[in-house]
Structure 1
Amino acid sequence: MGRRRGHNKQSSSGNNNDNNCSSHQQVTRMMVDDEDLDETTESSNLDDPISDEPDDSLIGGDKTSADYYFDSYSHFGIHEEMLKDTVRTKTYQNVIYQNGFLFRNKVVLDVGAGTGILSLFCAKAGAKHVYAVECSQMADMAKEIVEANGFSNGDYYSRRLLIHKYFSHTPLSVITVLKGKVEEIVLPVAQVDIIISEWMGYFLLFENMLDTVLYARNKWLINDGIVLPDRASLYLTAIEDSDYKEDKIEFWNNVYGFDMCCIKKQAMIEPLVDTVDQNQMVTNCQLLKTMDISKMSPGDVSFTAPFKLVAERNDYIHALVAYFDVMFTKCHKLTGFSTGPRSRATHWKQTVLYLVDVLTICEGETVVGSMTVAPNKKNPRDVGIMLKYSLNGQHSQVSRTQHYKMR
């Protein structure tokens, strides 16, 4: 999986079609009423198994994210990036602060707590007790952060002052940080009322933290308990991207006069994480999969979904782009955010899947196919993607299967 430098380019057609990405964007625009939200709401962007896997013999093909997954979250830099993603962090803050009735006197489990920011939000909103589980070394820092902000056991005076400032009638809360894997820790309580987590990865499912949330749900959540967020949807669209594909992929055809096409093959297999300009979008957006986190089973993270992308103008297609939305449906008002090209940028950006073919497409013509997604067999935190697509158009007749591996 790669990332590319930021750029802001126009599509080759020079047109900007903003009519409708998909019906979900119209729905999400109605979720938040500005007059009812505090200043933090401005951060929301609502307005604005695979049998044939890639060849592991490629350079680095035997390496996965398994060995360094938790270590990568031990460094403060990755947490700084996530905390500064105001769409992400302030949406969670708004959900918690503006829905105190969900948290008051409740026992909360924060899965993958990191710095403990979500636990702090929950405690300030009146949770009875918050258990913050973090496996990386950041757990040690989270304990210090909890103590520094007056939410550790016994620090009643400072907590009373802090809570009274924001929630004068809120009971005192305690946060307990537990260092270890959710699957291995011993939780001091038999059940919890709420599970909250920021589990989403690139392409929604990269790093497969969702399985950990589902494990916690099945083991500790009460029958009528709440999972936040409780809904996630994955979408697909198509883009024109000739300049960057030339720079990123075709570059390997001739490197100072030498053939390095073997690297080009690997570059095609690894999806690219980057911010896509909405002007590059050539087609509509297609819903691939919606997951109900409160009801789904772990096996549901593997799926095959059909798609039909309809061209909104005459142009070329160089890549398909995936992004996701998340929703908090248990709130007083439906709340969530999108990581799509037409929404405010987040640290998740979008996931770009370059095509072997350059598709010449006319307005109204369709690219049809299916996407199969499954955790990698060797390392479930990696994601395997199989893309089947075809176009029977005036200028292009193509039918192909491509494989990708996010690692």
Structure 2
Amino acid sequence: MTSKDYYFDSYSHFGIHEEMLKDEVRTSEYKRAIEFNKQNIEGKVVLDIGCGTGILSLFCAKVGAKAVYAIDCSEIANYAKLIVKENGYEDVITVIKGKVEEIELPVDKVDVIVSEWMGYFLFYESMLDTVIHARDKWLKPGGIMLPDYLTLNLVGIEDAEYKREKLDFWDNVYGYSMKCIKEVAITEPLVDVVDSQQICTGVQLLREVKVPEYSVEDCTFTSPFELTATRNDYIHALVAYFDTTFSTGHKANMFSTSPQAQQTHWKQTVFYLPDEITICEGEKLTGTLSCKPNASNRRDLDITITYNHNGKWQQAKGQMEYKMR
């Protein structure tokens, strides 16, 4: 089984879809976006990429789509067909099992593309490449995309307790040094829920994704950051999250995966630093974050963070290589 096959097979398990459907923030905001775009969807042709159980297709059919083509590569597509029939929309929704890059639609163009393509850290295991391919092949000029605008953001946090329990633990394991494991463990970003009280800096915008014009090449990027301390504290890690906006309807709506927002299944992505950085209110931690798809599997990511701090009590400078697998 190749890594791509494993990715698609993982989405055939019901637990993943249950988690996503129970993510009230995600599902309700997509529903609101589709309802706010009724005038753009009613009587039009919609393409749902990575349809899963077909919930977004059902939302589109309910607001009056003329036809919805729902594509998924995993076995869940077989159940999506049953769900569509169970709810009486088989004359509107056509479920197609296959890879977007390999199938042909029964129409030349579509009016709307809807997809929940985002992954952890926005880009990890995301379907953005696939959405771009579908956009370039099938979306009519002037067609809309849901969502259409996203941002990737960065903050600094204090997290001494977790770092001590999960990373510094390897320094002394029943009297033995296992630092070689610590050196690997710190390169693996943690996906978890961050307490908003841990945030000790302002927010830095890292990346904008304007979906109607984004390219595959744009998925490789380097972004500078400047984080200003909001209090006297220690920075143990940097935390990334993303915001998602639907701006094409008669009302815009959005949701955030910030630690300060209601929890989603995306949680946040935490990058632990080797240094414990002492920082005073108003001081800055500067650096860059570089991201590129892994050469062996584009759904995996190689991330490099450089950082520099020249403060009253401490000077720190470093570079870390992280791998999201």
Q: TM-score range by the shorter chain?
A: over 0.9
Residue 90 of structure 1 is aligned with which of 19, 28, 32?
A: 28
CA-to-partner distance for each residue in 1:293-331, whole Å, 9 max, x for gaps?
001111111111111000011000100000000101101
| SS of structure 2 residue aligned to 1:395 | coil
* Residues 1:128 and 2:66 are matched in the alignment: yes
- Between the aligned partners of 1:244 and 1:330, the Cα distance in structure 2 is 41
CA-to-partner distance for each residue in 1:38-69, whole Å, 9 max, x for gaps?
xxxxxxxxxxxxxxxxxxxxxxxxx9953410
* Residues 1:103 and 2:21 are matched in the alignment: no
Residue 239 of structure 1 is aligned with which of 151, 157, 164?
A: 157
Higher strand share: 2
The two structures have a TM-score, normalised by structure 2, of 0.98
**Is the CA contact 1:208–1:380 (under 8 Å) kept in the aligned structure 2?**
no
Q: Which amino acid in structure 1 is aligned with residue 63 of structure 2?
A: A
Which runs of 5 or more structure 1 residues have no equivalent in the other structure? Answer: 1-62, 154-173
Residue of structure 2 equivalent to 1:251: 169
* Residues 1:177 and 2:81 are matched in the alignment: no
Residue of structure 2 equivalent to 1:317: 235
Q: Which amino acid in structure 2 is aligned with residue 80 of structure 1?
A: E
Q: Which amino acid in structure 1 is aligned with residue 194 of structure 2?
A: V
| SS of structure 2 residue aligned to 1:322 | strand
| SS of structure 2 residue aligned to 1:256 | coil
Residue of structure 2 equivalent to 1:267: 185
- Between the aligned partners of 1:250 and 1:64, the Cα distance in structure 2 is 35
Q: Which amino acid in structure 2 is aligned with residue 406 of structure 1?
A: M
- Between the aligned partners of 1:120 and 1:132, the Cα distance in structure 2 is 10
- Between the aligned partners of 2:178 and 2:73, the Cα distance in structure 1 is 41
Moved over 6 A (4+): none
1:6-405 pair list within 5 angstroms = 65-153=3-91, 174-405=92-323
Between 1:250-259 and 1:329-338, the stretch displaced more is 250-259
CA-to-partner distance for each residue in 1:177-204, whole Å, 9 max, x for gaps?
0000000111111100000000000000
- Between the aligned partners of 2:4 and 2:36, the Cα distance in structure 1 is 37
- Shift of residue 255 of structure 1? 1.7
| SS of structure 2 residue aligned to 1:68 | helix
- Two-structure CA RMSD over aligned residues (Å): 1.2
Aligned length in residues: 325
- Between the aligned partners of 1:189 and 1:84, the Cα distance in structure 2 is 33
Q: Which amino acid in structure 2 is aligned with residue 92 of structure 1?
A: Y
Q: Which amino acid in structure 1 is aligned with residue 39 of structure 2?
A: F
| SS of structure 2 residue aligned to 1:352 | strand
Which runs of 5 or more structure 2 residues have no equivalent in the other structure? Answer: none
CA-to-partner distance for each residue in 1:74-122, whole Å, 9 max, x for gaps?
0000000000000000001111123311110010000000000000000
- % identical equivalent positions: 58
- Shift of residue 258 of structure 1? 2.2
**Is the CA contact 1:65–1:382 (under 8 Å) kept in the aligned structure 2?**
no
